Amino acid sequence: MEKLVVYGGKKLSGTISVQGSKNSTLPILAGALLAQGEVVLHNCPLLTDVNAAVNILKSLGSRIKRENNTLIIDSTNITTSVIDENLMHEMRSSIVFLGALLARTGKAELSAPGGCEIGLRPIDLHLKAMRELGVEINEEKGNLLCVAKNGIKGAEITLAFPSVGATENVILAATAGEGRTILINAAREPEIKNLADFLNSCGAKIYFAGESTIIIDGVKKLHGCEFNIISDRIVASTYMAAAAITGGEMEITNFPVRDIQPVLDIFNSGGCIINSDETSLHIKAPERLHLSGTIRTMPFPGFPTDFQAPAMAMSTVSELTTIFIETIFESRYKHVPQLKRMGADISVEGTVAVVQGVKKLHGATVYAEDLRGGIALVIAALAAEGKTDVINLKHIDRGYEKIEDNLRRLGAEINREVY
């Protein structure tokens, strides 16, 4: 087993170029199944979740080569519509292969996905939308047997909630549908636009008609393409948090700054000075943050639930009190007991967490329960007095590329050790 050992108290400074977006790469890898011909994807992050998606593609018959952060995928010969249960369980996002397989083969046989550390995460919206596209679905002992007997039929679909994954599944399936699909109340996360841009580069016809309506005109066949994945807005925000909590100064480059607008507001209100252009920003933090007010997670363009935990880590050492309201997931405060072990003053009631800033956190042994909660512990450890051991790194490795190398280059005292 591995752990991160952090000696806190060092001000971070320097330049960091942001890795490719995990949440774009995963649906785009599923989308590569639709293309007959070579797909060249640049800026793919080296992460265990990306490996899991690659393994699913390989099991379906795709041929894949990796050259550093570039993946070259040829899905011309797909040999099966069945995804093995073990592969499905490796990550929750494997559910996007449902829409992709239906689009490519008219069938999909898979089990319910894994990776449910932050709440129930049902897939009812995905299944309802697939049925509306003419797919027959039988659920047997946790297995989903899905068949589009007469092909996928364009339809008007309204999502009850703008689910990111359900939106991606509809886009993927409807791309191979007959006629037009109109998706209303679709998710508006930047990763959705990135998926549509990728599929359009392969010959799909996907249009954004207003803020949350997406129109998809089905096409018969997709071809290969060369495509750049966008950089990860949550990782960019995380490095900002590392600078902010240590009173440091950082240049964060190579990402679309407009995608983190809701996050920029809290850094500004916490006393950070930020100068930015379209693809990079410079952040200079005050000696002590004065984050305060209420942070309510919302679908994009609201405050991202994925940055709730790192923002909470920052708020633990603020001069003031911050209130968090988690509206997206029902169980996303697993980092709270761990932050409390480090001396944080946090009380939780239901979906509300009240964080009374303390002067200093202290080192402790803490357990990463999920991806963003795990990185929040690393952020807190950077500012804590003494030594922190962050254990159970498998979650952090799902989303952060070379995390300890990058933080060390920025001045942190952090190492990965075997225990």
Q: Select 6 or 371, whichever has its Cβ closest to ligand UD1.
A: 371
Stretch that binds ligand UD1, among 11-19, 163-171, 194-202, 264-272 (CB under 6 A): 163-171
Handedness of CA 375, 377, 381, 387 (dihedral sign): negative
Look at residue 5 and give its three-state secondary structure.
Answer: strand
Determine contact, residues 58/16, Cβ cutoff 8 Å.
Answer: no
CA distance 332 to 225: 38
Minimum distance, C-beta of residue 21 to ligand UD1, in the bound complex (Å): 9
Catalytic, 202? Answer: no
Determine contact, residues 48/397, Cβ cutoff 8 Å.
Answer: yes
CA distance 104 to 411: 48
- Contact between 398 and ligand UD1 by CB under 6 A: the answer reads no
CA distance 201 to 298: 30
CA distance 218 to 216: 6
- Contact between 333 and ligand UD1 by CB under 6 A: the answer reads no
- Contact between 139 and ligand UD1 by CB under 6 A: the answer reads no
Minimum distance, C-beta of residue 303 to ligand UD1, in the bound complex (Å): 11
What is the largest distance, in Å, between two alpha-carbon atoms of the chain? 64
CA distance 351 to 305: 12
Q: Which of 198, 303, 329, 333 binds ligand UD1 (CB under 6 A)?
A: 329
Q: Which of 62, 75, 163, 169 binds ligand UD1 (CB under 6 A)?
A: 163
Q: Which of 15, 65, 79, 122 binds ligand UD1 (CB under 6 A)?
A: 122
Within 8 A by CB and 6+ apart from 223, the residues are 35, 36, 37, 202, 203
Residue type at position 109:
E
Residues 20-49 that bind ligand UD1 (CB under 6 A): 23, 26
- Contact between 328 and ligand UD1 by CB under 6 A: the answer reads yes
CA distance 310 to 331: 16
Stretch that binds ligand UD1, among 2-10, 100-108, 161-169, 268-276 (CB under 6 A): 161-169
- Contact between 164 and ligand UD1 by CB under 6 A: the answer reads yes
Position with the least CB separation from ligand UD1 = 165
One symbol per residue from 77 to 96: x for binding ligand UD1 (CB under 6 A), - otherwise; what is it?
---------------xx---
Distance of CA 382 to the CA centre of its chain: 23
- Contact between 12 and ligand UD1 by CB under 6 A: the answer reads no
Question: Given 44, 116, 146, 272, which residue is catalytic?
Answer: 116
Q: Which residues bind ligand UD1 (CB under 6 A)?
A: 23, 26, 92-93, 119-126, 161, 163-166, 187, 191, 305-306, 328-329
Give the residue numbers annotated as catalytic, written as ranges: 116
